[in-house]
Amino acid sequence: MAKKSRKEEDGFESAAVPNAGGNGLKDEDEGNAKESGGSIRVLDRAMSVLGYMAESRRQVGITEIADAVGLSKATVHRILSTLKEYSVVLKDDSGRYQMGPSVLFWADAYRQRAGLAEISRPLLRRLWEESHETVHLFIFEGGEAYYLDKLDSPHPVGMRSRIGAKRDLYSTSGGRAILAALPEAEVDAYLDKTELLPRTENTVTEKAELKKLLAAGRERGFCEEVEENEEGIRCVGAAILDLRGFPVGAVSISAPAYRFSDTQSRSLGAKIRDTALAISRELGYRG
């Protein structure tokens, strides 16, 4: 196959700057047509990249993608860099890419009838019926936690969270539960590269104190946070484990702090722990 020029292959110049190259536009319609054509070429290439990544079902490098879809490495790099900005893809420390969590937000319009969300839904529903508070399901991907599912509280005051949104691990109960379930070396690596910024005036930002909270959560099987991620909101969560015992997500309950006492938090924490364990069993966990 004859090698295309960078401009012909990418379609980026005509998409971003319709008059690139010094050719004057004859009229507005011609300019729109050129811009539309360039944009379609860029989208076509991006879809090819995403299609290959989805089919691979693993982390892949730029060279492998470029060879598979017939594009230059420079083109693939530019596409992936843009997609990464919107969390459509994730990049690991070795420079390899995998599908990202933003697709969850789009896919919420057409809920899949399989996977973690489907397995969890009946158990989440039971937890919601017992608590009458907002129940969240997290997924843990690429070292980050994202909302995968949500059952809203029937009370007037609820949560503003949305499916697909990323959550900090250190300041949320579900995130802490995930950290507590990770090997100690991975927790240390996370703390070394993460700046513990105060989300509220109550956020724990000392690494030693956070590690004590993780140890306590590991011991009882659930983690708590009181107005550390959002003012006026208290949460309790437990990790979901795969067959290896590795955290793949978490379950949490969130409620306004004024109606979520210490006693209620501990009581619901035990129920959340049992719910997370039941989901883990469905995923093959036997620990």
Per-residue pLDDT reduced to its tens digit, 136-170: 999 998 889 998 999 988 776 556 667 878 889 99
Opening angle at CA 117, ends 115 and 118, nearest 5: 70
Residue 6 pLDDT exceeds 60: no
**Comparison of pLDDT for 103 and 55, the residue scoring more:** 55
The answer on pLDDT for 28 being more than 50 is no
Q: Write out the H or E segment, with its range, that includes residue 166.
A: strand 166-167
Looking at per-residue confidence, does 73 or 109 come out higher?
A: 73
**Residue with tokens 């996370």, as numbered in its chain:** 190
Round the average pLDDT of the chain to a whole number and report it: 83
- pLDDT at residue 30 tops 90: no
pLDDT for res 37: 61
Q: Read off the pTM.
A: 0.63
SS3 content of the chain, % helix, strand, coil (to 5): 50, 15, 35
List the single range of 5-9, 46-50, 162-166, 182-186 with lowest mean pLDDT. Answer: 5-9
Q: Which residue has the higher pLDDT, 142 or 23?
A: 142
Which domains does the chain show, CATH number per domain? 6-99 (1.10.10.10), 103-282 (3.30.450.40)
Please name the helix (run of DSSP H) or strand (run of DSSP E) that holds residue 256, with its range, or none: strand 247-256
pLDDT > 90? residue 223: yes
| Residue 111 confidence (pLDDT) above 70 | no
